[in-house]
A and B are shown apart, each in its own frame.
Chain A
Amino acid sequence: AQSVTQLDSQVPVFEEAPVELRCNYSSSVSVYLFWYVQYPNQGLQLLLKYLSGSTLVKGINGFEAEFNKSQTSFHLRKPSVHISDTAEYFCAVSDQSGGSYIPTFGRGTSLIVHP
């Protein structure tokens, strides 16, 4: 079974500053990794995913994440945030085996961008 730890429940940052949202996972097998964003009263939208290949993954809205297998991490970064990036961000992991690909989600990190 896999698990996900999002190390920060809340990250406040000023507009145009860089941000990093941290995610660590635990799994006994190879994994796929995801970041989702959720705006208030909305469903989740996929930001980016790591399936294989390059460990640096670029997503939508200027976000990117780096897969670090030795540290079992998949941190999300953005070099310059906007007010509109204020939202809840979820890291998720799913096993590569089995075929069901059902992800396990972390508890979320609330990104709060101040003007």
Chain B
Amino acid sequence: DTGVSQNPRHKITKRGQNVTFRCDPISEHNRLYWYRQTLGQGPEFLTYFQNEAQLEKSRLLSDRFSAERPKGSFSTLEIQRTEQGDSAMYLCASSPGQGLPGYTFGSGTRLTVV
């Protein structure tokens, strides 16, 4: 078990382009979470999955953002028509379902929109 893996580590894109990030959780964890962290701030919750079901979405998740977790394994987060305000670190975390809280975070994907 190598922990939570996120790819790519860094992404630079032009405004208006679409980007997709991938998260591979710890294999036995059935809960997966996406967070966004901007400079000087703590992580802000975006959405989470229990297996393949997306159970909760933050109002931060505008209609340009979509997340999927097909088959309840890896997850993707797509941002369409990127804006400069989307520049941030996107963090993925996983945890065992049913169990008590305490996530394992990945190293994040840093997005820079130019």
Contacts and interface: CB of A to CB of B under 8 A. Distances in A.
B101 A105 contact: no
Interface stretch (A14-22, A38-46, A67-75, A76-84): A38-46
A interface SS class: strand
A13 to B, nearest CB: 20
A101 to B, nearest CB: 4
Interface residues of B, number: 25
B42 A94 contact: no
Given A42-B107, A43-B108, A102 B42 contact: no
Interface residues of A, number: 24
A65 to B, nearest CB: 14
Nearest to A102: B45
A32 B100 contact: yes
Interface string B56-90: 10000000000000000000000000000000000
Interface of A: 4, 32, 34, 36, 41-46, 49, 51, 90, 92, 94, 100-108
28 contacts: A32-B101, A36-B105, A41-B110, A42-B108, A43-B91, A43-B105, A43-B107, A43-B108, A44-B93, A44-B105, A45-B105, A46-B102, A46-B103, A46-B104, A49-B101, A49-B102, A90-B43, A101-B100, A102-B48, A102-B56, A103-B45, A103-B101, A103-B103, A104-B45, A105-B42, A105-B43, A106-B42, A108-B40
